[in-house]
Chains A and B, each alone.
Chain A
Amino acid sequence: MKINKEKKEPMKEKPCEDHEYCIKVLNLIIDGEANEAEVLFFNTHIKECLACSEYYSIEQAIREAIKKKLEKKEAPADLIQELRTKVKESTRS
């Protein structure tokens, strides 16, 4: 998405009537939880609204950062071993 910075005019001409509603729908869409009507509304709207398309782009980047940048702690091997031993003991007692 490019913007003509010299003219300082918004690229998109139809800003939201209800930005808070748009954000709700946008999150449902990214989470894969939106219904057909919400998807249809948003796909039409996002092409025309700069605020929403930017919001969408940042939200996606945040989701991606959570998936990629968060350190994944792994369960210690001794814990796994201990659990296996306890389970075996309990089924054999």
Chain B
Amino acid sequence: MYCKNSNFYSPAEKEHIFENEFLPHIHSIYNFAYRITFNEDDAKDLVQETYLKAFRFIDSFQKGTNAKAWLFRILKNSFINEFRKKSKEPAKVDYQEVETYYNSDEIDQPITSDLRVEAIKEKIGDEVSVALNSLDIDFRTVIILCDLEGFTYEEMAKILDIPIGTVRSRLHRARNLLRDKLKVYADSLGYK
């Protein structure tokens, strides 16, 4: 991903890189795997496959570069190739419906009271996990990579193999959807 040339690491160097550059990210990788599969066994298999693949191709990894992004990219590819087909996905978002809504005037209506902003802020914490999990996987992925893992748009583009403009627009849609779900939740509690 970041280096086209192959390196020839000795077995000791390989183990050193694996231990010091790959393993420190294992909790982030596992957490991400769990959030896209919703299943501990699948997450475990996915992480195992990711790390073993990373090790197998360790010569194409440049020591000291962005191991975290490299691992996330391998995980994403493994997921698409093998897991996505068999894992159950949550309900798909109807893109047309979403786009119609976000192109309508409704989105432009501002929230008009401070009280409501405070109420929403207070309550979103409780509901954010449910709201995030209910998003389509592509939307969920960009939010996790950006907000939870702190990747830049450029890193996300490399991990996901999509242009940076697509990262931006997908994130934008994902945030609108998430916000909308949280807003519905706040409304249902009577904060209007």
Query: Does B128 belong to the interface (CB within 8 Å)?
Result: yes
Q: Which residues of B contact A66 (CB under 8 A)?
A: 128, 132, 143, 147-148
Judging by beta carbons under 8 Å apart, are A58 and B147 in contact?
A: no
Judging by beta carbons under 8 Å apart, are A74 and B30 in contact?
A: yes
Query: Does A73 belong to the interface (CB within 8 Å)?
Result: yes
- Please choose the segment from B44-52, B69-77, B79-87 that sits at the chain A interface, where 4 or more of its residues have CB less than 8 A away: B44-52
Q: Which residues of B contact A50 (CB under 8 A)?
A: 110, 112
Judging by beta carbons under 8 Å apart, are A79 and B11 in contact?
A: no
Q: Who on chain A is nearest to B117 by CB?
A: A54
Q: Which residues of A contact B15 (CB under 8 A)?
A: 87-88, 91
Judging by beta carbons under 8 Å apart, are A2 and B114 in contact?
A: yes
Query: Does B64 belong to the interface (CB within 8 Å)?
Result: no
Number of interface residues of A (CB under 8 A): 48
Given contacts A66-B148, A79-B47, is CB(A27)–CB(B125) below 8 Å?
A: no
Judging by beta carbons under 8 Å apart, are B113 and A73 in contact?
A: no
Q: Mark A54-89, 1 if CB is under 8 A from B, else 0.
A: 110111011101111111111110011011101110
* Cα-based distance from A30 to B126 in the complex (angstroms): 22
Q: Which of A32, A50, A61, A72 has the most CB of B within 10 A?
A: A61
Query: Does A90 belong to the interface (CB within 8 Å)?
Result: yes
**Main SS at interface, chain B:** helix
Q: Which residues of B contact A75 (CB under 8 A)?
A: 26-27, 29-30, 44, 47
Q: Which of B47, B48, B51 has the most CB of A within 10 A?
A: B51
Number of interface residues of B (CB under 8 A): 52
Q: Which residues of A contact B132 (CB under 8 A)?
A: 66, 70
Which residues of A line the B interface, CB within 8 A?
Answer: 1-3, 5, 10, 15, 19-20, 23-24, 27-28, 31-33, 50-51, 54-55, 57-59, 61-63, 65-76, 79-80, 82-84, 86-88, 90-92
Which residues of B line the A interface, CB within 8 A?
Answer: 11-12, 14-15, 18-19, 23, 26-27, 29-31, 34-35, 40, 43-44, 47-48, 51-52, 55, 107-108, 110-115, 117, 120-121, 124-126, 128-129, 132, 143, 146-148, 152-153, 168, 171-172, 175, 178-179, 182
A-B contact pairs, 23 of them (CB 8 A): A3-B113, A5-B115, A20-B107, A20-B108, A31-B171, A33-B168, A50-B110, A51-B110, A51-B111, A54-B110, A54-B111, A57-B117, A58-B121, A66-B132, A66-B147, A69-B125, A73-B27, A76-B44, A79-B30, A79-B48, A84-B23, A90-B55, A91-B15
